[in-house]
A and B are shown apart, each in its own frame.
Chain A
């Protein structure tokens, strides 16, 4: 049986190093399988997060050969026998080995005003396929935070105090474009949300395992919305009443 060599980061807040492990290769094996092999056969203290093992829960993000990926979706055969390095997401404080403290993301989510329909609009609602289809893309997000990890704004010193990051632009886009939502988050986006810091490098889009068009479909339309509400109130009004928020047939 052939073997793969993985260099896995081991350590905690006080420091750490890459350590080599030899893992027997089986057909179709993914990086997470190799991590589990190490846990079960070599070192049960190796820490990582995972749940679904099917790229659906977004728990198992790590930097594999320098690129943020889901370990459960990263096949080992693509590396063709070359050594593989596995490191934790660098944008977040390290807890241990491959596990980082991502709690900041949950605090951000809490700051975002939730979906708020009109009080008297209690449904059941009529919403047509064309009204909801474009929102499904945003709802697909599995909160793996790979996009957050790769975003240079967040990676910079103190970046998380300036910008919510691509994940939450996706979240806000899903709310803002919901035909039944009545709240504007433009002020938040421009202020604490820090949308102005994004300079559309598209790095986030490249790593998104759900292939969400984070910049083209979420960030750019949100930037336009912010610009409209601040600098072109007339256009904002037109947009608000021009059908973008009002589904037909209700």
Chain B
């Protein structure tokens, strides 16, 4: 152990303190191992607090006909059947118990008149399925888990950025990073590491994601040799704010449509009647996003390039009770009273379906000792995630990853060793932006990569566009070698941005390379040059991995559903 870093040691290190990380930490601690939990922000501020609409679980409290089978079928269909059915089955079966568990831990949901947890309708869910509390379900979830975690013996390290996984041979041995407060380096030895670092919406300019969503976990996993999957699948949420400029992209919860909101174009037409006459506004997110996009392209967009979403017919009292934060958000930030008139909305990058490829139900990546849960893990959502399925994903697979990591740790015959050389290599990389010869501004590079992704890997894609985008990202990667940070490592956002940009550029490359390969349209991946679904591609997932000569992309067969489950899909179609 060297003296230039702070050293910590845990059995299980959880990276990220959103819903998945907190739930994983609780599960590992309850299994009796020593757990450290690291977050980039303060505890309780993770992106999960932004989840508004609810948590999907087939409790059947409002629609008694709901069952795990229907939730399974909805989720598979939503994902256009390239999801891992084994994950979906576990998910649909276990989500209800995870919701009741939150309640036992002090979480409070809206109630039915007879005292049960209330459930609201949401896009592409057959039944009313989303347990919720107004439009701040994520806050309730994170607060509940946060209090449980800090009283379960989990040690929390706040405002720490981890930038490299340390390895002992092919196994994970811990992670390296720095304290944001003063730039002090930190080495965390761990027998197992669980990544719960969320998504990378920040590679796009118009996004509902916070500054934290730079995909550190996924990029670190890639650099450590783990396989990534479904990287081309990036979700546009149909409704983000469009005006004023400072709030462009901020989420307008799907619950607005769940509660009866109607989408109209500039001519006042309810255009979803043309695109999905059956489900209308409650069609799946990929369909609604494309529909808004097409309306704008056809010249029927709203003044700031979106559509109108109107909930005012539900009346002021109802809106203020069921959508209080939407009401506030529009009133304070956009001068719009949504109880009186429509809001203006447009698609915004919201979620990534792809990520670290994991063993279904265990969360184990292809690197021994490295686990992943939540948005950073791939497989559950396939080509498109249904609203409300994210929060249940976090608690179902967070718990499982925590348990399996603890089991893995208990089965080890010796603790992995830390190699100071790896830490030192990363230290030098981190400090490079302070070298005087450098000139590139990380904020400019970030804006440039966002521009590339928006232009070339946006809602509508073409092979030529994607390839041109890839060239630009590769040259940005070269410029990124020369990033410059001023000042000292003391709480220095400009310096922090340098590492973020490197991570994001890796993920941009993975998105583009995968999107080039998938020559069809499926879910969130819409290719203008291949507008139809292709049955062959429907049996394949794309896998990205680090090769000797750079990034490689290959295909993997989608696990085939046993006939019993396949019949469920036909039966409930």
Contacts and interface: CB of A to CB of B under 8 A. Distances in A.
Binding between chains A and B: yes
B341 interface: no
Interface stretch (B184-192, B325-333, B467-475): B325-333
B100 A123 contact: yes
Contact of A55 (B111, B329, B487): B329
Interface in A139-165: 139-140, 142-143
A140 B251 CA distance: 18
The 6 A-B pairs of least Cβ separation, nearest first, read: A44-B494, A28-B244, A115-B106, A126-B115, A45-B487, A47-B491
A53 B210 contact: yes
Given A57-B45, A73-B332, 17 more contacts: A26-B245, A28-B245, A48-B493, A51-B210, A52-B210, A54-B50, A54-B325, A56-B136, A95-B181, A106-B43, A106-B158, A114-B106, A126-B116, A128-B114, A128-B115, A132-B110, A139-B140
A48 B211 CA distance: 12
A102 to B, nearest CB: 7
B490 interface: yes
A124 interface: yes
13 contacts: A28-B244, A39-B443, A44-B497, A45-B486, A50-B211, A53-B246, A73-B333, A97-B491, A109-B150, A123-B103, A125-B103, A132-B110, A136-B133
A44 B332 contact: no
A175 interface: yes
Contact of A40 (B151, B443, B485): B443
Q: Which of B41, B115, B133 has the most CB of A within 10 A?
A: B115
Nearest to A211: B328
Interface in A106-127: 106, 109-110, 114-115, 117, 122-127
Contacts of A103: 158
Contact of B41 (A51, A123, A126, A178): A51
Given A54-B50, A114-B151, A124-B103, A47 B246 contact: no
Given A27-B244, A109-B150, A249 B491 contact: no
A26 B42 contact: no
A54 B332 CA distance: 10
A46 interface: yes
A28 B335 contact: yes
B450 to A, nearest CB: 12
A125 B115 CA distance: 8
B212 interface: yes
Given A45-B486, A50-B211, A59-B42, A123 B104 contact: yes
B44 interface: yes
Contacts of A186: none
Contacts of A57: 44-45, 49-50, 210
Contacts of B491: 47, 95-97, 99
A207 interface: no
A30 interface: yes
B245 to A, nearest CB: 5
A96 B491 CA distance: 7
A129 B111 contact: yes
Interface string A12-30: 1000000000000011111
A132 B111 contact: yes
B244 A140 contact: no
B204 to A, nearest CB: 15
Contacts of A122: 104
B318 interface: no
A51 B244 contact: no
A30 B100 contact: no
Contacts of B247: 28, 53-54
Contact of B143 (A44, A139, A247): A139
A103 B44 CA distance: 13
B493 A44 contact: yes
A114 B146 CA distance: 11
B488 to A, nearest CB: 8
B322 to A, nearest CB: 12
Contacts of A45: 486-488, 492-495
Contacts, number: 174
B499 interface: no
Contacts of A114: 106, 147-148, 151
Interface in A201-250: 247, 249
Given A44-B486, A128-B115, A249-B115, A142 B104 contact: no
Contact of B100 (A49, A106, A124): A124
Contacts of A68: none
A15 to B, nearest CB: 14
A33 interface: yes
A29 B244 contact: yes
A202 to B, nearest CB: 21
A58 interface: yes
A169 interface: no
A106 B37 CA distance: 14
B233 interface: no
A48 B180 CA distance: 11
A46 B494 CA distance: 8
A20 B487 CA distance: 19
Contacts of B443: 39-40, 44
B151 A132 contact: no
A15 B362 CA distance: 51
A191 to B, nearest CB: 19
B108 A139 contact: yes
A45 B497 CA distance: 11
Of the candidates B46, B114, B143, B251, the one having the most CB atoms from chain A within 10 angstroms of its own CB is B143
A124 B245 CA distance: 45
Interface string B210-232: 11100000000000000000000
Interface string B234-249: 0000000001111100
A173 interface: no
Nearest to A115: B106
Contact of B147 (A33, A97, A109, A249): A109
B139 interface: yes
A135 interface: yes
Given A50-B211, A51-B212, A96-B490, A44 B442 contact: yes
Given A55-B329, A127-B111, A33 B246 contact: yes
Contact of B250 (A27, A39, A47, A54): A54
